[in-house]
Amino acid sequence: MEGFSDKRVVRNVARTCLTFLLMILMAALNRTNAYSEDGDSALGKKIYEERCQICHGTNGDGKGLVGIIKKSEKSGRVLDVRPRDFTTGVFRFRSTPTGCLPSELDLMRLVDVGITKSFMPPHKDELSMDEKKAVVAYIKTFSERWKDEEPCDPIAVNKPGWVGSRTSVEKGLKIYKDMKCWECHGDDGKGKGPKSNEIKDDWGNAIPPFNFTTGALKRGTTPEDVYITFTAGLDGTGMPSYEDSLDEENRWHLVSYTLKLMGAVK
Amino acid sequence: MSNGNRNEEGVSRRDFLGLAAFGAAILASLGALAGSLRFVKSNVYSEESKKFKIGKIENFPIGTTRSIDGKSVFIFSDDNGLFAISAVCTHLGCIVYPTEAGFQCPCHGSKYNQDGKVIGGPAPRPLEWFEISQEVDGTLFVDAGKAVPNGTKYIFA
Amino acid sequence: MNDMNDIKQTGLAKYIENLKSLKSSFANSFLRSGIPTSDKSRTAVVVNNFFLHLHGAKTHINTLRPSYTLGLGLISFFLLVIVFISGGFLMVYYSPSIGTAFNAVKDINFVVFGGKLMRNVHKWSGEAMIIFVLLHMARVVYTSSYKRGREFNWVIGIMLLVLTFVINLTGYMLPWDQLSYWALVIVSNIAAAPKELTDIFGITQYFDIGGATKEILLGGTEPGQDSLTRVYLLHIILLPLGICIALGVHFWRIRKDGGLSKPDTLVGKGSGVASISPPDKTGGIFPTHKTYGLMELARGRTPAVDNDVENTVTSWPHLFIAEVAVFILTLAGVIAYSYFIDAPLKEFANPAIPENPAKAPWYFLGLQELVSYSAFMGGQGLPGLAIAGLLLIPYLDREPEHFGIWFSNKQGKMVALESFVIGSIAVIGALVFVVNFGWFRNWWPNIHQLWIIAINPGNLLLGFVVAYSLYVIKRTGSTRMGAISLFTMFLVSYVILTYTGTVLRGPNWEFFWSSSQWPVH
Amino acid sequence: MQSRFYLSLLLISSLVLLTFVAIATYSALTPEWKQYQTEYKDFLIKNAKDEATRERAEKIDIGIQQIYLTSMKKADRCTSCHRGVENPLMANAEQPHRQHSGNYLENHPVAKFGCTICHRGQGQAMNLREAHGEEHTHWDFPIMPIKYIQSSCALCHDFEMLKHEGGGHVAKGEEFFRGKGCRGCHKLNGVGGDLGKALDGIGSRARAYFPMKHVVGDRTIYNWVKQHFDDPRQIVPESEMRAFLTGEESDLLTTYVLTFTSEQMPRNYMLIKNIVMPRTDGESLYKMYCIACHSDGKASIYDEILKRTIPAIMNPSFLKAIDDNYLKKILKEGRQGTQMTAWKVDAAGLTEQEIDRIIEYIAKDRPAAKTEPFDVAKFKADVKRGEELFNIRCALCHGKKGEGDLGLNLKNPVVQAADPAFLAVTVRDGRAGTPMPPFGKDGVGLIEQDIADIVSYVKTLSQKKL
């Protein structure tokens, strides 16, 4: 499977007469699915224009026709939801360390499952694997970063058994205080800390800290997802990586405490 | 006519008289008692009418559940129409409250599903469903004195 | 003039004389035969007094043995007296209207002099009656006192037990607070429980005996002013009247049936006879050991053939001192308890929101535990069967031996202990099962109600109790042992079920180890 | 021997009885209130300025004080402890002896009003715990915290008067109530939406009516209402109510909401000074009924609680496309399948006139320019092609079966009954102020045939089952 991203292999395949047979096969399946370099990017462009451009814009700058969507949260706070700007190559939901590009899998996953709560729809049933790969490849053309950098290795996640236990929650609470999480997320985890109004993202837009009591993290609500967020940070937002400032054990304690805030453990 | 015969006849006549007398006395007493018992069952009750107004159909958008103040009834509105389910537990008459699964009675823990069917606890019968009727002007009435088969939903214009 | 003076003098002298002897002449007129000085006159006091002549002129010393009767029947009676008197006082302020009843009770609590204490005394002595009537029953059973002509008095006793329960219950409803209202709802629906049966046969629309009973009780379909009127009527007229009549018969029968039971063998004090064995004649209207008779009025040699008479003392003063002592003891106990513990009074009745948990008064919580399996069986069937079973005890156990002896003999003690243990295990086992696994409806939601009426933990328990007591009869070859076993298990079940219903059941009738674990509403 | 046993029993019991009768009598003779009254009397005697005052103080009778309000059958015995409530000499004393603050009692003599009309609590009770209705005393209306006390003023006075004469809090609360669209979801006196519970009588409901599980502090209705305003879902997890006000503002609204009691004050207590007709201009009505969901109506907002986008009804592009009749129809009949209430007089209770005024207000910024018409009839629509286009272009927001999410629910009868040309214009031009982009040549670039196909497919959506 990794071979597909290797353009040489694709090129070789394109140059064989099998291409022709494949084309026939695909035509029979009523799918425009070809593996030539041209076909690939053309398919990606087509899918992008049909499905992504309306929000993410023709140039991938996040300024599509739909524009900013206003959303009022349960707490009554009204947020601006902005489509991702692909031109900077900065992504929040990575499994790779902070500052890195996301892995191919990260992007595929986002296309697949979408992002709950911010209107990025899931495409699991809409697009074939090849189409998704094509569109991901097309998205990578918007930023120069993809040409210059290689994605780093994903962060290793090994959840210890004691996550969510009472002592772990208590330790997590201490870390929450010591690491000043409350400055943004608030003492009660509702995202109303003293600094919560000052935070801006890389594009200069105000961005509110997460309200843990709503329980619905955008990345996903499993302890592993929370752990990755602590380790990798959310690039482009105010949420830093704690990979350096907290060791692995303490990050897991913090996960325990957030699970409590989210109501997942007592 | 022998003595024995006369005796027999006499005895039986006396017996009959005695039987009739005591029979009549018992019957009369029982009748009086029954009448007295009927006396204590009042013919009219000083209670609010069981039939009450709940508003117009527009007050019940599809997908809503309403409880009417002071009345022990839940009114539901779904795609298949409007229906009224009693909030009175069929076990011993406590007022059930809605839960995710349906209804729950606080007194002895009877549980019902969303259609009022018993799914646990001591309740012997499903919750009653009541008749909903519409007056000429479109006002809806629930008659909590008139049970209808469970599952009866009403569609009003 | 002299004459006149004389006459005046004598008139005045007579007057002064009369004044001087007022004490003795009033006592004479009151007691008819004067302040007693001899056994004969002591006897006459009793015989000649309207109230006292309910007693025998002489009392068997066994009757006065505190360890024999424990004074339980007497305490029950005195509690009733206290209830009647305190109830009369409360009626001064109470008014049976749903608009005023609650405020009246509040006022009794807050501003009537000693009102709170009076209300507490009424409440607690009423509820104590239940305990003491049950204990009195237990004494009667364990000393075989339902035998030898006393069978019918046992029946009257059961009637009094039922009346005690009902009068307590009706009193519970008078303050018209949340407790009253929801107890009334539950009780009236228990009255309507035969609906379960008529529904099964599909005849409810023609013959709704349950519904009719409920509506007669409530004077409507839901509790309201009419219900309060009816409950009040029951509480202050019908039931007290019933109790008075039944109690009159009960006391009269005690005398007619030969006084309190006593063992056939008794070491008579000072009689010099180690063992007295009266001729064994059971039943009959005039048992040989009756405690009254004209011959006892005479002193000296009597035609009596029964040494029993030797073991009697004159009721005046021995019995009366004992009775007064027990009365004061009862009163002191009730007042002391009432001083420390207040009778509950909740919010004003609210038909929209039941208490959670909505509990009946404690003495019915055993039944409420049973109604949480099936309303009909728990509320009517099982109590009915239990009462029927109790009623039958004297008729099914007619063994004359061991009369008047606690637990009859060593075997009796063993059987009582064994039944206590087995009964506890059975009840607790049934409860543990139900709490952990639920019952039919939880397993098969569609099951026909008939199955639940027929087979539920309450029925199984009753079946077990009956079966076990039959087994005891078979094993010991004695119906007496069966009676001990049956009654012990009845008592144990009542106590454990009541305890469970009172303490271990919380909101939604769920199981909690203590009320401190109840979730907050 | 036996007699001795019973005689000793009699002696002991009698002594016990005697003791308890004595104790009971003593405690009946020394109730809590008597101590307070003695304190009060002693205080007055001690601090008497002149002999006459002193004499008068010494004449004070100690006994149960009661204010009986015949017309309400109310007995307030609060003054049994608070005897100094009308005594200016007690202005600086400690409670319970202190004089009533302010000059309220001038116009509200204690003898006529008692105490519990305003302060609540249990007037009949004779001890602090029960009189103040503390928790576990089984009294539904505990004493009212001072910050909400003005709610009692509104039992007899109108808000116009209160605003100027010492009832600022409750008047402010009433303004919030009018301005935050509370009645958009809640009925009061028969007028208002159906999404929430009717508010009539809420201020005099029994404690058990409120789910107190999550209330912090004393479980009183005051705390419930206040904390429920601060964060509805903290108190009732499944609540769909909006959280608009916190802190002091929600205190004010709480004060106002507590005025909704089911008891009517007797006529001779009422004092209406400035009868002001209820504000019925379009803007006020909009704020009373619409603003909770539609806010300023300029931009559409996706609502996380209602799980749909609330349309921007005052956006020019919306108004341009929709005429008054259509608006009126929606306002009157509501929108089935959404939270939009039917506002006609039969349902939510607005009169025809009021609805007209609201529409006038909403439509005040309608642009003069007409939209370029779209002649749907000109095209021969292909439903199947419309479906393909719909699945790619529309389904992301409107759902695969048109059930709606970020986008509108297209199965909705109002949409299904709409003129195809109107739908086509909407698809072509989009809706400024909402996420609905223009799909025509100025936007996504679909040709008119495509749009006609999509519209023809949308019209078939009502037949699709979810």
Token pair for residue C41? 């006159």
In this predicted model, what pLDDT tens digit does every residue of A33-69 receive, in sequence order?
A: 433 344 467 888 888 888 888 888 888 888 888 888 8
Task: Tell me which residue in B69, B70, B91 faces C375 most closely, judged by beta carbons.
Answer: B91
Does residue C211 belong to the interface with chain B, where contact is any CB pair within 8 Å? Answer: no
- Euclidean distance between the first and the last CA atom of chain D, given in angstroms as a whole number: 93
What does the alpha-carbon distance between residue C177 and residue C98 come to, in Å, rounded to a whole number? Answer: 9
Do both D164 and D263 map to the same domain? Answer: yes
- Which residues of chain B have a CB within 8 Å of the CB of C375? 91-92, 122, 124
- Chain D's closest residue to B58, CA to CA, is D347
What does the alpha-carbon distance between residue C383 and residue C494 come to, in Å, rounded to a whole number? Answer: 11
CA D239 to chain centre: 14
In this predicted model, what pLDDT tens digit does every residue of D344-392 receive, in sequence order?
A: 887 888 889 999 999 999 888 888 777 778 887 888 888 888 888 888 8
Do both D124 and D154 map to the same domain? Answer: no
What does the alpha-carbon distance between residue A149 and residue A102 come to, in Å, rounded to a whole number? Answer: 11
Sites in chain C below the pLDDT cut of 70:
1-8, 265-310, 520-521
Q: Which residue segments constitute the domains of chain C, with CATH numbers given?
A: 37-355 (1.20.810.10), 365-521 (no CATH)
In this predicted model, what pLDDT tens digit does every residue of D125-151 receive, in sequence order?
A: 999 999 999 888 889 899 999 999 999
Give pLDDT, residue C268.
Answer: 44
Does residue C319 belong to the interface with chain B, where contact is any CB pair within 8 Å? Answer: no
Using the CB atoms, write b or e for D336-347: b if 16+ within 10 Å.
bbbbbbbbbebb
Query: Domain segments of chain A: what residues?
Result: 34-148, 166-261
Do both D120 and D169 map to the same domain? Answer: no
Report in angstroms the alpha-carbon separations of D97 from C110, D33, D52.
Answer: 21, 11, 21
In which domain, by residue range, is D100 found?
32-143
Which residue of D304, D306, D427 is the best one to mutate when testing the A interface, meaning the one whose CB has the most A CBs within 10 A? D304
What does the alpha-carbon distance between residue C431 and residue C425 come to, in Å, rounded to a whole number? Answer: 10
What does the alpha-carbon distance between residue D123 and residue D137 come to, in Å, rounded to a whole number? Answer: 13
What does the alpha-carbon distance between residue C122 and residue C145 come to, in Å, rounded to a whole number? Answer: 30
Around Cβ D102, how many Cβ atoms within 10 Å?
A: 8
pLDDT > 70 fraction of chain D, expressed in percent and rounded? 98
In a domain, D16, yes or no: no
What does the alpha-carbon distance between residue A127 and residue A133 come to, in Å, rounded to a whole number? Answer: 10
pLDDT, mean over chain D: 86
The residue count of chain B comes to 157
Does residue B55 belong to the interface with chain D, where contact is any CB pair within 8 Å? Answer: yes
* Element at B52 (helix H, strand E): strand B51-55
Contact D20 C332 (CB under 8 A): yes
CB contact set of C489 (below 8 Å; sequence gap of 6+): C419, C422, C423, C426, C465, C468, C469
Q: Report cis status (omega within 30 of 0) of the bond before D278.
A: no
Give pLDDT, residue C67.
Answer: 85
Coil, helix or strand for B104?
strand
Give pLDDT, residue A160.
Answer: 84
C-beta of residue D123 within 8 angstroms of C-beta of residue D75: yes
In a domain, D384, yes or no: yes
- Among 2.115.10.20, 3.20.20.70, 3.40.50.12280, 1.10.760.10, name the CATH number for the domain at A166-261: 1.10.760.10
- Which residues of chain B have a CB within 8 Å of the CB of D205? none
Do both D347 and D390 map to the same domain? Answer: no
Contact D3 C318 (CB under 8 A): yes
Distance from CA of B26 to the nearest CA of C (A): 23
Give pLDDT, residue A146.
Answer: 81
CA C47 to chain centre: 28
Task: Tell me which residue in A51, A70, A117 faces D299 most closely, judged by beta carbons.
Answer: A70
C-beta of residue D181 within 8 angstroms of C-beta of residue D291: yes
C-beta of residue A173 within 8 angstroms of C-beta of residue A265: no
Of the two residues D432 and C494, the one the predictor is more confident about is C494
What does the alpha-carbon distance between residue C216 and residue C191 come to, in Å, rounded to a whole number? Answer: 10
Report in angstroms the alpha-carbon separations of D116 from A223, C469, D67, D125, D158.
Answer: 54, 62, 10, 11, 20
Contact C509 B119 (CB under 8 A): no
CA A203 to chain centre: 17
Pick the last residue of a domain from D128, D143, D158: D143
DSSP one-letter code for D121: S
Around Cβ C316, how many Cβ atoms within 10 Å?
A: 23
What does the alpha-carbon distance between residue A101 and residue A92 come to, in Å, rounded to a whole number? Answer: 10
Give chain B's radius of gyration (CA, Å): 28
In a domain, D175, yes or no: yes
CB contact set of B30 (below 8 Å; sequence gap of 6+): none
Q: Do chains C and B touch (3 or more CB pairs under 8 A)?
A: yes
Q: Report cis status (omega within 30 of 0) of the bond before C36.
A: no
In this predicted model, what pLDDT tens digit does every residue of D271-329 receive, in sequence order?
A: 877 666 677 888 889 988 988 888 888 888 888 888 888 888 888 888 887 888 888 98
Does residue A54 belong to the interface with chain D, where contact is any CB pair within 8 Å? Answer: yes
Token pair for residue D124? 């009949």
Token pair for residue D284? 């006020």
D102 phi-psi bin (left φ>0, alpha ψ -120 to 50, beta other):
left
Distance from CA of A67 to the nearest CA of D (A): 6
Coil, helix or strand for A2?
helix
Pick the last residue of a domain from D212, D237, D267: D267
- Total count of domains within chain D: 4
- Which residues of chain D have a CB within 8 Å of the CB of B61? 194, 334, 336-337, 339, 341-342
pTM for this prediction: 0.81
- Which residues of chain C have a CB within 8 Å of the CB of B92? 185-186, 189-190, 371, 375
Does residue B34 belong to the interface with chain D, where contact is any CB pair within 8 Å? Answer: no
Beta bridge partners of B134: B140
**Most distant CA atoms of chain A, gap in Å:** 66
What does the alpha-carbon distance between residue D216 and residue C285 come to, in Å, rounded to a whole number? Answer: 73
Regarding the domain delimited by A34-148, which CATH topology (the fold level of the hierarchy) does it fall under? Cytochrome Bc1 Complex; Chain D, domain 2 (1.10.760)
Report in angstroms the alpha-carbon separations of D94 from D32, D34, D61, D91.
Answer: 16, 17, 21, 9
C-beta of residue B91 within 8 angstroms of C-beta of residue C375: yes
Token pair for residue D182? 């509370």
In a domain, D320, yes or no: yes
- Which residues of chain B have a CB within 8 Å of the CB of C508? 104-106, 109
- Which residues of chain D have a CB within 8 Å of the CB of A70? 299-302
Do both D136 and D52 map to the same domain? Answer: yes
E-state strands within D24-97: 67-69, 74-76
Helix (H), strand (E), coil (C) string for C276-290: CCCCCCCCCCCCCCC
Token pair for residue A78? 């009204």
What does the alpha-carbon distance between residue D118 and residue C458 come to, in Å, rounded to a whole number? Answer: 53
Q: If you count residue pairs, one on A and one on D, with CB atoms under 8 Å apart, how many are there?
A: 51
CB contact set of D238 (below 8 Å; sequence gap of 6+): none
pLDDT tops 80 at residue A171: yes
CB under 8 A, 24+ apart: contacts of D166-174: D166/D102, D169/D251, D169/D252, D169/D255, D170/D252, D170/D255, D170/D256, D170/D259, D172/D252, D173/D252, D173/D253, D173/D254, D173/D255, D173/D256, D173/D257, D174/D256
Distance from CA of A140 to the nearest CA of D (A): 22
Highest mean pLDDT range out of A76-90, A236-250, C112-126, C439-453? C112-126
Coil, helix or strand for A142?
helix
What does the alpha-carbon distance between residue C66 and residue C60 come to, in Å, rounded to a whole number? Answer: 13
Contact D20 C322 (CB under 8 A): no
DSSP one-letter code for C505: B
Does residue B64 belong to the interface with chain D, where contact is any CB pair within 8 Å? Answer: yes
Token pair for residue B123? 């309740």
- Provide the pLDDT confidence category of residue A201 given band limits of 50, 70 and 90: confident
Task: Tell me which residue in D301, D392, D430 faces A71 most closely, judged by beta carbons.
Answer: D301
Q: Do domains A34-148 and A166-261 have the same CATH topology?
A: yes
Which residue of B59, B60, B68, B100 is the best one to mutate when testing the D interface, meaning the one whose CB has the most D CBs within 10 A? B59
Pick the last residue of a domain from D365, D386, D412: D365
Do both D251 and D320 map to the same domain? Answer: no
* Element at D41 (helix H, strand E): helix D32-46
Give pLDDT, residue C4.
Answer: 60
Nearest to C389 by CA among C459, C472, C475, C462: C462
Distance from CA of A244 to the nearest CA of D (A): 36
Do both D164 and D220 map to the same domain? Answer: yes
C-beta of residue B108 within 8 angstroms of C-beta of residue C368: yes
Does residue B106 belong to the interface with chain D, where contact is any CB pair within 8 Å? Answer: no
Q: Do chains B and D touch (3 or more CB pairs under 8 A)?
A: yes
Report in angstroms the alpha-carbon separations of A151 from A109, A157, C340.
Answer: 15, 18, 78
Which residue of C178, C218, C353, C441 is the best one to mutate when testing the B interface, meaning the one whose CB has the most B CBs within 10 A? C441
In a domain, D447, yes or no: yes
Which residue of D1, D5, D11, D13 is the best one to mutate when testing the C interface, meaning the one whose CB has the most C CBs within 10 A? D13
* Element at B70 (helix H, strand E): none
Distance from CA of B9 to the nearest CA of C (A): 38
Token pair for residue A118? 């911010």
What does the alpha-carbon distance between residue A217 and residue A225 come to, in Å, rounded to a whole number? Answer: 9
Q: Tell me the backbone φ, ψ of residue B121, rounded to 5 degrees.
A: 85, -175
Q: Which chains, if any, share at least 3 CB pairs under 8 A with chain C?
A: B, D
Do both D257 and D303 map to the same domain? Answer: no
Over chain B (157 residues), the average pLDDT of each successive run of 10 is 49 82 94 89 83 81 77 85 90 86 86 87 88 85 87 82
Half-sphere exposure of C484 (CA within 13 A, CB side): 28
Does residue C284 belong to the interface with chain B, where contact is any CB pair within 8 Å? Answer: no
Give pLDDT, residue A25.
Answer: 53
What does the alpha-carbon distance between residue C100 and residue C112 come to, in Å, rounded to a whole number? Answer: 16
Give chain D's radius of gyration (CA, Å): 33
Distance from CA of C68 to the nearest CA of D (A): 13
Do both D357 and D382 map to the same domain? Answer: no
- Chain B's closest residue to D190, CA to CA, is B55
| Residue indicated by tokens 């286009």 | D389
- Chain B's closest residue to C373, CA to CA, is B122
Report in angstroms the alpha-carbon separations of C177 from C116, C286, D279, D390.
Answer: 16, 52, 43, 63
Does residue C274 belong to the interface with chain B, where contact is any CB pair within 8 Å? Answer: no
Nearest to D156 by CA among D279, D267, D276, D274: D267
- Which residues of chain B have a CB within 8 Å of the CB of D204? none
C-beta of residue A79 within 8 angstroms of C-beta of residue A71: yes
Give chain C's radius of gyration (CA, Å): 28
C-beta of residue D435 within 8 angstroms of C-beta of residue A69: yes
In this predicted model, what pLDDT tens digit does every residue of A107-163 receive, in sequence order?
A: 888 888 888 777 888 888 788 888 888 888 888 888 888 887 777 788 888 888 888
pLDDT tops 80 at residue A26: no
What does the alpha-carbon distance between residue A41 and residue A136 come to, in Å, rounded to a whole number? Answer: 10
What does the alpha-carbon distance between residue A218 and residue C420 come to, in Å, rounded to a whole number? Answer: 63
In this predicted model, what pLDDT tens digit does every residue of D22-64 receive, in sequence order?
A: 999 999 899 999 999 999 999 999 988 888 889 988 898 898 9
| Residue indicated by tokens 């897991």 | A252
In a domain, D275, yes or no: no
